[in-house]
Chains A and B, each alone.
Chain A
């Protein structure tokens, strides 16, 4: 996993010292192609599982629970922090 953090760090370093908007079009193309390729292979990996069909409904249920839970608790945490550190009303 160190490779990933290192790749990110080298990218930040390179981006900081090169002119703003440097190679933005080819960069965007490489980014989109890599991303779509990786998602395609995520699908390929998923499809290799013979039990996939029986798992799909459980994936959807867990994903819905996860999205609702993180939304509710992120709002609650922000409300608590605003109450403690937010601007006082005059």
Chain B
């Protein structure tokens, strides 16, 4: 449900601005508060990470796959982003920054809009929405093709929430626990890694 609200928010903002329904002074005034909103958002994300003690306990009890999967996902994702920058107009820095959203479309889009402009923010939003959607559709088939643990990798940061039920259904309980830990680690790293590309 939230994804539709997010898509609608982007769509409405674009249409209202493009068709000049919003006046230029109003747009300028509103854009000035985005930095403050972003700081509030990051504070709340941090708060959730620190406040979620169950996730921290699960993390401490984790087995070796709980380290292998996030490390592989990070390396492969950033390399994949770099390769796309070679065949498109993106710079290597932009390609890797977009990929480093790890499927977290909302946060990567707002961070990259602030850091690199609305074009890169829009690509970050779309590519991470596509990553999440492709993951949801492909896990049943990937779990058979590459095994239950490698099938967690496409989900990136979403494996702690949106894609977790699908991982549990098609990859099993152990993969679900590892997927949850993978999601916690990658979600924590998104707001730390993306600002490094500034």
Contacts and interface: CB of A to CB of B under 8 A. Distances in A.
A and B part of one assembly: yes
Interface of A: 1-5, 7-18, 20-22, 27, 30-32, 34-49, 52, 55, 58-60, 62-82, 85-87
For the residues of A in contact with B, the DSSP-based class is helix
B60 interface: no
B188 to A, nearest CB: 9
Contacts of B172: none
Given A65-B87, A71-B131, A38 B73 contact: no
A66 B49 contact: no
B127 A9 contact: no
B49 A15 contact: yes
Contacts of B76: 70, 72-78
Interface of B: 2, 5-6, 9-19, 22, 27, 30-31, 34-35, 37-54, 64-65, 68-69, 71-73, 75-77, 79-81, 83-84, 87-90, 95, 98-99, 106, 109-111, 113, 115, 117-119, 121-123, 125-131, 134-135, 138, 142, 146-147, 149-154, 156, 191-192, 195, 198
